[in-house]
Amino acid sequence: MSEPTTVYPVGRTDVGKRLDRFLQEKIPRLSRNRIQEMIRDRVVLSWDARVRPATVLVPGGVVRIEYVPLPETLLEQEIPVLMRGDGWLAVDKPAGIPVHPVNTVRENTVIRMLRRQEGCEDLRLAHRLDRETSGVLLVADNPDTARTLSLAFENREAGKEYVAVVRGVLGEDRGTIDLPVGKACNSEVFVRQAAGAGAPSETVWQVEARGPGATLLRLFPRTGRRHQIRVHLEAIGFPVLGDLLYGRPDQDYLDLVSGLRDPRKEEGGPDRQLLHCARLRIESVAGGLDCSSPVPDLFHQCLQRVSPSNWL
């Protein structure tokens, strides 16, 4: 499956900008390291200049990002289907598999694996889950249903329940985190969000179980900001166990995405963030949609294994 070259013309307001800043504006989901790798390996300029992050954009220029085929061995892994409805299906997303194509993975993504599995190229995502988050994921098989489901999420008609294992033992049994969420301005990681400024955000939580040094929580996000649950839990001092982006130094995450090391393996902790979408409900869908996914055994195992002297 081929993909076209991406072309970004240099506009009037772009003239004089550095190439790396220009591309970060165009592709905000990529970290600074990813942008620099792309500039080194894939970027072509329409004018005569050395291609480097500090290259200054010129009037009338065009920046091209060449598609580079990646050798991928197709995963022989079935994506479990939890429920089917008129124009949609709910699947149990495994941890560690991105939902859509990214720079390093294209064919081994949930949506492309499902298209092959279901024999339907029209399948499309109705919402997103982070790569390391598991659980209920909705997929539509036509544009109208995809639009209907996406609007349900935008209009806060979707009831979402997550389960997480967090570092530390919460004393209260339940509570609400009401903190705005927005971009983390002082972080080297471009995708990192932070609590305290940004869009209004609310997460309700309740304790499911407690271990020696960790707590199993059920969480009900009332809004849908990027990384909201993870940001909120970090903000109150109880980050998700195994999360390298929140509650950890920037370098831990940067080392992971650059392929240098996974700090979690050095510590003997879980090799994923322990966050799971356990239930989704959308009453406005014809026939009703109420789908659940069982909490992975790993969550209960890690809950009992973490001690106060072993913060992973």
Identify the sign of the CA torsion 304, 305, 311, 312: negative
Q: Which residue among 20, 130, 141, 243 is the active-site one?
A: 130
Q: Is 92 a catalytic residue?
A: no
Instruction: Give 7's contacts (C-beta < 8 A, 6+ positions apart).
Output: 62, 63, 64, 65
- Whole-angstrom distance, CA of residue 231 vs CA of residue 233: 6
- Whole-angstrom distance, CA of residue 297 vs CA of residue 312: 18
- Tokens linked to 5: 């070259």
- Tokens linked to 311: 């913060």
Instruction: Give 11's contacts (C-beta < 8 A, 6+ positions apart).
Output: none
Map residue 202 onto helix, strand or coil: strand
Q: Residue type at 55?
A: T
Give all strands (DSSP E) within 211-308, no chain letters: 214-221, 275-282, 289-292
Nearest to 312 by CA among 240, 259, 232: 240
Which residues have a catalytic role annotated? 130
